[in-house]
Amino acid sequence: MSNAVKVFFSYAHEDEALRDKLATHLSMMKRQGVIEAWHDREISPGSEWANAIDENLEVADIILLLVSADFLVSDYCYDIEMTRAMERHETRKARIIPIILRPADWNGATFGKLQALPKNAKPITTWQDQDEAFLNVAQGIRRVVEDIAKSKTSSSNASRTTTPAISSLPATSGGLTEPQRRRLEQERDSLQQQYDLASTKLDRLGQAYAIETDTATKFKLEKQIQENKTELNRLERQLQEIEQKLV
């Protein structure tokens, strides 16, 4: 399932039953291996929940915003998850699909410019047959999944046809062979991606810490912020070491 489209559920816990119902209607795509769905109930005991959410949000291809009044009032859902989701949507790194679960005044919301599901943005709970509403949502999601899957396939094929084999590249001066330089550059790029991700996490954690009022949760966030800073320092040192070798 390495090529599966990754789907992230952003929702308020008050809507957990409706989220489960939607997941059930997406089960055929999961069986077919075309999607991998994730939500915060997947977090294993003992894991840092904020880190787990950030990591999965950052790699998601599709982000489902399960909209209700409880979603809109949730500082974490609206200010943290949705803000980052919109950033990734604007840079075309992910697709956001608002799913209107229950009646709510979402006009004027940041995601209000996006096409919502089900059809006519009619809240699922107001449908006479909710299974029909969920089917309409699932069919809409499938269309987006198919578009993203085609794009992934095209990108993969282009990469294979345009990237020369390392073994065919000539040696270079400076004490490094071309394969050695290429491996260092790949390692540098990988570390840079990790650094950027860690930096983004630190920003999200800082925002979460600023709006959190529960003392115990703030303590956990403070610990995660410190751990994230330590990780950033480690990655920065590794990047500097590689740059020195590439000079």
Question: Could you confirm whether domain 5-155 is CATH 3.40.50.300?
Answer: no
Element (H, E) at 5: strand 5-10
Rounded CA-CA distance 23/20 in Å is 5
Q: Is the pLDDT of residue 213 over 50?
A: yes
The pLDDT value given to residue 158: 54
Can you give the pLDDT at residue 166? 41
Confidence of residue 227 (pLDDT cuts 50, 70, 90): confident
Q: What is the mean pLDDT of the chain?
A: 81
| pLDDT tens sequence across 147-186 | 888 877 665 555 555 544 444 444 444 566 777 777 777 7
Residue 138 host element (H or E)? helix 130-162
Terminal alpha carbon distance of the chain: 39
How far is residue 200 from each of residues 114, 130, 194, measured CA to CA in Å? 24, 38, 10
Please tell me the predicted confidence (pLDDT) of residue 168: 43
Q: How confident is the model at residue 98 (pLDDT cuts 50, 70, 90)?
A: very high
In whole angstroms, what is the distance from residue 101 CA to residue 23 CA?
Answer: 13
Answer yes or no: CATH 1.20.58 is held by domain 167-246: yes
In the chain, where the domains are located: 5-155, 167-246
Instruction: Specify whether the backbone of 121 is left (phi greater than 0), alpha (psi in -120 to 50) or beta.
Output: left
Q: Bigger pLDDT: 109 or 244?
A: 109
What are the strands of the beta sheet with 95-100, ordered from one edge?
35-38, 5-10, 62-67, 95-100
- Given a cut of 60, whether residue 136 has pLDDT beyond it is yes
In terms of C-beta density within 10 A (0-12 exposed, 13-18 middle, 19 or more buried), how is residue 201 classed? buried
Interatomic CA distance for residues 180 and 177, integer angstroms: 5
Indicate whether 65 pLDDT > 80: yes
Model pLDDT for residues 5-59, shown as the tens digit of each residue: 899 999 888 999 999 999 999 999 988 888 888 776 665 555 556 677 778 888 8
